Structure 1
Amino acid sequence: MNVSKILIVALIFITSFASAQSEIIGKWKTIDDNTGEAKSIVVIYKKGSKIYGKIDRILKESDRDKLCKECEGEDYNKPIEGMVILKGLQKDGNEYEDGTIMDPENGKVYKCKIWVDEDDPNVLNVRGYIAFLFRTQQWIKA
C-alpha cells in the first residue's frame, strides 16, 4: 500500500470518528414524559475525554427560577437552569456510557448511556438505569 492510500484511509477514519462525536455535541431539547412538550434545552459538551450536559435553558418561564430542593451535595438548593445533569460519559462504539444523569425533579442520580438514533440523527436516546430497570427518553436536536 503506498503512502497516499494510507493517508486517505487515515483521513477517513479520523473524519468518521470526529463526526460521531460532533453528532452528540450541541443543544438538545428535552421532552416532558407526561405532556410530550419541550421542557428544556441541554447543552452537551466534551470536557477532557468525557461528555457532560447542562441545562442551558428551561423553556417554561414560570419554572426558570426553580431550585433543586431534592438534590444532594453541591447541587442542593441550586438553580436547575445551568445545572450539569449528565456527567462523565465515555465513548464506547456508537454510544456514550459509564456516566450518570441526574433528574432535577427528584434529585436522583442514575447510571446513564446515550446514543444518536440510527434512523434519525436529530434524535438522541437518553437511557437512565437503576439495576436492571431503565427508562429511555428521546431528546430532539435544538
Structure 2
Amino acid sequence: MKKNILLTVLASLAFSGNLLAQDLSGTWQQIDDKTGSPKAIIEIRKDANDIYTGKIVKVTPRPGYTPQKTCNKCPAPYTNQPILGMDVLTGLKHVEGTNNYEKGRVIDPLAGKIYDAKVRLNTNGKRLTLRGYIGISALGRSQTWLRVD
C-alpha cells in the first residue's frame, strides 16, 4: 500500500508542470516567419532574477541578401548599435507551471520596431514560438526558433 502511494506521488510530481518546465537558456536558430529561412543565432540567458534575455551572436548569411550591420531606424538606446551582439529579446519571465514566458520585449533591428513578446516552448524543449505584438497578442506575428545546442 505504501509503495502504491509513493509511486502515485512520484508519478504526479513527474508529470506536474513545474518539473516539466524547460529552461529557455541556450542557443537558438531564428527562422524568418516570411521566408522560412534561417536569420540569426540567438543566445538566451537567464539572470539572477530569473529574467531571460536574448542576444544575436551570429547573423546567418542568406543568398542574395547583404546583412544590415547596424540598427539604423531603431529608437534609443538601440540607435546605430551593431546588430551583432545586440540584446533583441529582454524581460521574459516564466509563467509558473507552464512552458510559457511573458512580459518580454523584442526588437526587430531591420525595421527598428519594438514589440511586446511572449514565448511558448514546446514539450521537448527543442522549439519555441515567439509572438511579437503591439497591445494585444492577436495583433502580432509569430516566429519559430529551433534549439541548436
* Matches for 1:90-109 after TM superposition, within 5 Å: 90-92=93-95, 93-109=98-114
Aligned equivalents of 1:123 and 1:102: distance in 2?
A: 20
Using the size of structure 2 for normalisation, the TM-score is: 0.76
Over 3 Å counting, the alpha-carbon distance change for 1:71 and 1:18 in structure 2 is farther
Aligned equivalents of 1:78 and 1:19: distance in 2?
A: 38
Structure with greater proportional strand content: 1
Cα deviation, 1:12-59, whole Å, max 9, x if unaligned, reads 67xx7476343x210110112333211110001101220110111101
State the match for 1:137 in structure 2.
143
State the match for 2:127 in structure 1.
123
Q: Which runs of 5+ in 2 are unaligned?
A: 1-5
Between Structure 1 and Structure 2, how many residues are aligned?
Answer: 131
State the match for 2:42 in structure 1.
42
Q: CA deviation at 1:101?
A: 0.6
State the match for 2:81 in structure 1.
78
State the match for 2:57 in structure 1.
56
Q: Identity percentage over the alignment? A: 36
Using the size of structure 1 for normalisation, the TM-score is: 0.80
Q: Which runs of 4+ in 1 moved over 4 A?
A: 16-19
